[in-house]
Structure 1
Amino acid sequence: MSAVKVLIIDDEKDFATTLSERLVLRGFDASAVFSVTDAMEAAQTIQPDVILQDLTMPGMDGSEVFLKLKTIDPDFEIIIISGQLLPADDIAVLKENAFDYILKPVEIKEIVEKINDAWQKRQKSLKKRDQHNG
């Protein structure tokens, strides 16, 4: 089995780079990008299994980034990571559409568990899609 591909989208370069390095040490194929433009390009070329997306990105609202990623592949499992506490209603909407929502600072153990859960969900979605198309 190949490593789970994780794309980290966050304009905080130190955070994204450190998180990527820590995930690689745990056996993931992780890479980080720091802009919306790079995120869209990486999502198409890497075809990640799981995306960790910061909600606050310069140049585009986080929900817009999320929707654009979903147009590339509706089966992308996206975990929102934010440094801002959001109102309960916003969190409920995010959780309904994203795989999960995590508030910074993050614990690597929690991230790894959520990535593995999201990967399992993506595998089921892809299997259903293949059966439907096959």
Structure 2
Amino acid sequence: MLARRYAGDVLGEARAYADHAGRASLEADDVHLAIRAKSAFSPGPPRREVIFDLARSRNTIPLHKAAAPPGWIPLPSLEDTIVSPNYLVVRPVMLSVDQVEETEDDDEGSDPNSNTEQEHNGSTSNKQTQINAMAAAAVRQRR
């Protein structure tokens, strides 16, 4: 992935040099100039020894033994894979029309610029109020 990105950056620079020169195709000089410019402003890819050292240190950590039934391929647990979810999905709360109208009445009398202690604490009721306000705005937009 690193090599692909590096090659893409170099070829993009070379393309810009060819366009500046008024040519439709790339030449070897464009690529050489792009490589020199890229190496002047960036350290370049890590040395091979550095990558081997990183791989060796990472490979010293043993994988968990996965228990699989006979004939099955043992797979690591989801916590040990890249595809494990690292987020939480919050489903929107659907309000009835009466609840939305109550929320609209509550919002009309409040000062939107007031900073209360409850807002700073991030309490659950404040979050629910924000969700209700967003739902009320969505209902108003539908009308």
Normalised by the length of structure 2, the TM-score is 0.19
Larger RCO of the pair (alpha carbons < 8 Å, separation 6+): 1
Normalised by the length of structure 1, the TM-score is 0.20
More helix by share: 2
